[in-house]
Amino acid sequence: MTSITGITAIALAGIGWLFSLSGAVGILRMPDLYSRIQCSSKTITMGALPTLIALVVGEGPVSTYGSRALLVAAALLVVNPAASHALARAAYKVGVPMWPGAVTDQVSARGRVAPHEPDRGRGHRPAAGPEQSGPAEQDGGGGA
């Protein structure tokens, strides 16, 4: 490893360590679950990625460890936002309260999903009543 490569790898590892430390402090200090989810996703993304890139710079992208680090970094970029979103959405739907000092609840303000109500799933339509007959009722019902 050349000196410039080594310095770059150390700098990237240091940046990853600082982000991981700030994220860990944030997880401990944040008031509610939703803020902690944000801190944990920052820790994973901005803490692990520079560290993995430091490994790639130090070992080389074609080495065994470097190629695996690139694969893990790519997986983190895809999985971490989706997992954080799913965790926050599930917490919201089961009624985990927001911090009382939160400015606004934008989801319930839009009227899309009422908090503390079960999700009916996408594409859910209420049962057809007499005024909302479907195609089967309009043509006389019949089967085959």
Q: What is the pLDDT of residues 34-70, one digit of tens each?
A: 889 989 898 888 999 999 999 999 998 999 999 999 9
Residue 58 CB partners (closer than 8 Å, separation 6+)? 1, 5, 6, 9
CA 52 to chain CA mean position, Å: 19
Mean model confidence pLDDT for the chain: 80
Coil/strand/helix, residue 80? helix
Identify the helix (H) or strand (E) that includes residue 48: none
The model carries a pTM of 0.66
